[in-house]
Each structure stands twice: as C-alpha cells, then as structure tokens.
C-alpha cells in the first residue's frame, strides 16, 4: 500500500522533543511535510529545528502541562500551516511509581502529563478537525494502560483513561471523515526509559516512528507498536487477577 496515502503535508507535533516524536518529525520532513513543532525542552527543540531546516514552519518551546495554553497552541498550528492534515500528541512521562503512592502531588503530575494535558489539546483539535471534515489525530499511548501492574499503575491508569477517551473521540469523529489513532506502544529504548533494565522486547525509536507512520497511513485505529505486543497483551489482559498476583515477572516492582 502507498505509505503516503493520507497526504500528510501539514503536520503539527506536540511533545516534539521526545525521542519518538523527533524521529516522526524527521520522517515527515523527509516526506516533504511542513511542520509545526511544540516541545518542552528549548535546547532540544532548537537543535531539531536546525536539523530539519525549512521543513519547520514554526516551533514553540512550551510546557504542555500548562493546559490553559492548549487551545492557543492548536490555534497557532492552524495559523502557521493554514490547515492541518495530521496532529500528533506525543508528550508523556513515566514518573516514579513509588513516589506517586506516597504523595498525591506526584500522582497528579503523572496523570496531568499523560492524560489531562492530552485532553486539553484533544478538545480543540477535535473541534478543528470536525469542522474541516478531514484529517488524522494520532496519540502516543502505552500497553501499560491495559493492565494495572505494581511497577507502573499510576502511569498505566492515566494511559487507560486516555485510551477510553480516544475510543469515544474516534467514534464521534468517524462520520466526519476524521481518523483517530491510539498508538499502543510497548517499551522503547529512549531517554525516558534510560533507568530501566533493558530486555529483548525493547524497541528502537526510529523503527517505532516508521511503524507509527505506517499505521496512520493504513488507517489503523489502535495499533500495537511493535506489532508483537498484540498477542502478548491479549494474554496479559485476560489473565485472572489471582494468576497475575502469583507471577512475579508481571506483579513485581
């Protein structure tokens, strides 16, 4: 199938300084897209803009946890690009699970970044795309949202909420010709997971970005990336709770 099927020539990326989002920006720049990039880290954003050159129409260094600024950022994307074919929502943080269990403020911060900041963008994005009657919204989620496990259940709960929100949004926008993609990521070797012990199932960011773009091109609503997490999560999701509690490689910290 033609991988440029969606004609994504005007792309806005929120959380563009994360490793996967930066690789997506590189990929779409190579495909000739015009980019509007928003990221938290000003230095990383500046370096990415310099690398991509004229492909970047505009960029902004913004903390997306500031949900009050979300609508203005979405408006800015349409102003800069004229219209938007594809919006990618990529911000996220794992947080410290033990800290979120001891301190509500820590739990709230994880939930804000992984759920509330995304919803703050999705509300104006959905309204814009609904009015236009075309386009794609792709949101990076996680397989952690499919089962509560002791090592990351605060993060997983935020991603589970995000998944349900995206399910509803996908159905709302379906009749308007707008596609919503929930990208269910397995663990990826990036700076966000630098402190995690790596195992053979960890994916590489450039390959993950390529798989995400293929999934969007092919209109897949909720792909697993990499693909092999689909059968793995089918098993994990359907394990009885008593069995999960007895399997230390799943129930351990």
Question: pLDDT digit of tens for each residue in the chain (253 aa)?
Answer: 344 456 669 999 999 999 999 999 999 999 999 999 999 999 999 999 999 999 999 999 999 999 999 999 999 999 999 999 999 999 999 999 999 999 999 999 999 999 999 999 999 999 999 999 999 999 999 999 999 999 999 999 999 999 999 999 999 999 999 999 999 999 998 777 766 676 778 889 999 999 999 999 999 999 999 999 999 999 999 999 988 888 887 777 7
Q: What is the pLDDT of residue 194?
A: 61
pLDDT score recorded for residue 248: 82
Angle between helices 42-52 and 19-30 (to 10 degrees): 20
Cα-only R_g, the chain: 18
Q: How many CB atoms lie within 10 A of CB 79?
A: 10
CA distance 19 to 44: 10
CA distance linking residue 157 with residue 189, whole number of Å: 22
CB-CB contact of 208 with 226 (8 Å) = yes
pLDDT of residue 198: 67
224 an active-site residue? no
Q: What is the per-residue pLDDT for 1?
A: 36
* Number of residues written out for the chain: 253
Residue 151 is assigned to a structural domain of this protein: yes
Enumerate the β-bridge partners of residue 34: 10
Q: Is residue 55 part of a domain?
A: yes
How far is CA 191 from each of CA 59, 90, 196, 204, 205, rounded to the nearest angstrom?
22, 14, 10, 11, 10
Q: What is the pLDDT of residue 199?
A: 74
120 in Cβ contact with 70 (< 8 Å):
yes
Q: Is residue 3 situated within a structural domain?
A: no
Residues 172 and 154: their CA atoms lie apart, in Å, by 27
Using CA atoms, how far residue 163 sits from 85, 120, 236, in Å, is: 22, 15, 17
Distance of CA 114 to the CA centre of its chain: 9
Predicted confidence at residue 213, as pLDDT, reads 96
Instruction: Tell me, yes or no, whether 219 lies in a domain.
Output: yes
Residue 4, in any domain of the structure: no
What pLDDT sits at residue 4? 47
pLDDT at 201: 82
Question: In this structure, is residue 141 part of a structural domain?
Answer: yes
Is residue 131 packed enough to be buried (19+ CB in 10 Å), middle (13-18) or exposed (0-12)? Answer: exposed
- State residue 92's pLDDT score: 94
For residue 178, what is the domain's CATH number? 3.40.50.720
Residue 238 burial by CB count (10 A; 0-12/13-18/19+): exposed, middle or buried?
A: exposed
| Residue 126 domain flag | yes
- Report the domain count for the chain: 1
Catalytic residue among 28, 155, 165, 224: 155
Would 222 be classed as within a structural domain?
Answer: yes
Domain around 123: 10-251
The whole-number pLDDT of residue 246 equals 86
Which tokens sit at 94?
A: 């794992």
């Amino acid at each position: 199938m033609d991988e440029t099927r969606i004609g994504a020539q005007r792309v806005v990326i929120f959380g563009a300084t994360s490793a996967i989002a930066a690789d997506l920006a590189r990929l779409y720049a190579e495909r000739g897209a015009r980019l509007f990039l928003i990221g938290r880290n000003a230095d990383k954003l500046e370096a990415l803009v310099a690398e991509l050159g004229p492909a970047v129409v505009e960029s902004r260094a913004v903390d997306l946890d500031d949900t009050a600024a979300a609508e203005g950022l979405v408006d800015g994307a349409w102003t800069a690009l004229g219209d938007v074919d594809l919006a990618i929502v990529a911000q996220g943080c794992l947080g410290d699970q033990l800290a979120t269990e001891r301190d509500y403020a820590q739990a709230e911060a994880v939930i804000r970044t992984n759920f509330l900041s995304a919803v703050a963008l999705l509300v104006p994005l959905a309204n814009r795309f609904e009015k236009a009657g075309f386009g794609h919204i792709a949101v990076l989620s996680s397989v952690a949202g499919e089962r509560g496990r002791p090592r990351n259940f605060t993060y997983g709960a935020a991603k589970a909420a995000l998944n349900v929100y995206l399910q509803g949004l996908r159905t709302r926008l379906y009749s308007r010709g707008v596609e919503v993609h929930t990208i269910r990521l397995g663990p990826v070797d990036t700076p966000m997971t630098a402190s995690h012990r790596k195992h053979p199932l960890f994916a590489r960011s450039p390959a993950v970005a390529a798989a995400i773009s293929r999934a969007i091109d092919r209109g897949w609503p909720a792909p697993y990336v990499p693909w092999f997490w689909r059968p793995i999560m089918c098993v994990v999701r359907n394990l009885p709770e008593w069995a999960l509690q007895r399997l230390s490689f799943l129930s351990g910290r």
